[in-house]
Structure 1
């Protein structure tokens, strides 16, 4: 299993749109989001808001068997939910489908895992 943490900017003036997107994914579109992540092979996803003097960011954690394949699946999907989600990636974060075609958008440099502890 692979995991990665990364962040994306929330473009200036888009914080309320990001919060509305999050509320929709956690509310009326929760099942569609779960189906999307299953198609991608994502088993865990965490999004946190980080507000800094340099601006607002969403901090993300993704876990999947194959992260590159997961991002490529989202980038190429014609599922209506995935299309809707990608539209928001562009408008809220400035991220395009082309940016998701390659390897995950961050590189892991260090990871600690307690081999004897519970997950």
Structure 2
């Protein structure tokens, strides 16, 4: 299982829109989101809001068997939810589908797990 943490900036003035998108995902679009994660092979995602003097960001933790394949799936899927979600990534974060087609968007320096 692979895992990664990364940050995506929330574009200036878009915090309320980002919060509305999160509420939409947690509410009426929840089943669509779950199906998307399953398509991508994502077994866990944690999204947290981080507010700093430099601006707002979403902090993400993703876990999947193959993270590169998961991001590639999201980047190329024609499923209506995935298309809608990619539009949100562009509008709220400035991230494009092309940015997701390579390796995961961060480099892991270490991954500690307590084996005991």
Question: 1:42-77 CA distances to partner (integer Å, 9 max, x unpaired)?
Answer: 000000000000000000000000000000000000
Structure 1 runs (4+) deviating above 4 angstroms are: none
Partner residue in 2 for 1:89: 89
Question: 1:6-38 CA distances to partner (integer Å, 9 max, x unpaired)?
Answer: 000000000001000100110000000000000
How far apart in 1 are the matches of 2:113 and 2:107? 17
Q: TM-score, normalised by structure 2?
A: 0.99
SS in 1 for 2:21: helix
Number of residues of Structure 1 aligned to a counterpart in Structure 2: 116
Are residues 1:106 and 2:77 paired?
A: no
How far apart in 1 are the matches of 2:52 and 2:64? 29
Cα-Cα RMSD: 0.4
How far apart in 2 are the matches of 1:46 and 1:24? 16
Consecutive unaligned residues in structure 1, runs of 5 or more = none
Are residues 1:63 and 2:63 paired?
A: yes
Correspondence list, 1:11-22, <5 A: 11-22=11-22
